[in-house]
Amino acid sequence: MTLIGRTRARGIETLTLDSPHNRNALSAALVGELASCLADCAKEDAVRAIVLTHTGNTFSAGADLKDPPDPAALVGLLRQIVELGKPVVARVTGHVRAGGLGLLAACDIAAASTESTFAFTEVRIGLAPAVISLTLLPRTDPRALARHYLTGERFDAAEAARIGLVTAAGDDVDDVLEPILDGLRRAAPEALAETKQLLTARVLETFDRDAAHLTALSARLFASPHAREGMTAFLERRDPSWLV
């Protein structure tokens, strides 16, 4: 079963997360297939930029609790997006949760519709936004991120834009993206690649420094009693035992 749709128009390759049964959750299979598609795009001179979007009303629900990816594989996917020699643009018209926000932050540019919502839900199921911090911490307002990491509150597209999680938001995301994609088409490919390296250097320093620690933290928390209780409560649609 194919989990990633692919189309191309005027040098823009669109990769569409298409796993409706789990709201485009980051399963081991989806992470692997997306990494393969990105590697293909990197080799093709005809691809000037990549748009990452989704079917349904959810960009990504985060890690698939029934088939989670290996933390190292998720780290590899996030780094692949950051290092790719072509711009990657996120197009969001729905909800983004937990690990999906790390995917969003890995992209060079992100546009969201005003109907989109966002939440770091990890703490509510006994986890922490560990691996995804590799892309989020260097690019997002730290005071706002502290609130959203620690509370798991839902927030809207205007807030996502204010804190730097998305580049821009609007009623029609394609109207928002039109001048952005036009600008990418007008840019020389080598200049785009070199300019992206300037912009991602700080993010890659974070990977070099923290990836091993955060990967180990993620694996440890997934195996913890609190996470087992939190994930079970989530799947059973009940409150976790620690709620007071």
> What integer is the mean pLDDT of 30-43?
98
CA distance 85 to 41: 10
When pLDDT is cut at 50, 70 and 90, the band that residue 151 belongs to is very high
* Strand 95-97 relative to strand 117-119, pairing: parallel
Task: Identify the structural domains of the chain with CATH numbers, from first to last.
Answer: 4-173 (3.90.226.10)
Q: Give the count of beta carbons closer than 10 Å to the beta carbon of residue 177.
A: 23
Q: What is the pLDDT of residues 52-92, one digit of tens each?
A: 999 999 999 999 988 989 999 999 999 999 999 999 999 99
As a whole number, the mean pLDDT across the chain is: 97
* Whether the Cβ atoms of residue 5 and residue 52 lie closer than 8 Å to each other: no
Note the pLDDT of residue 65: 87
> What integer is the mean pLDDT of 29-49?
97
> What integer is the mean pLDDT of 222-233?
95
In this prediction, what percent of the chain has a pLDDT beyond 70? 100
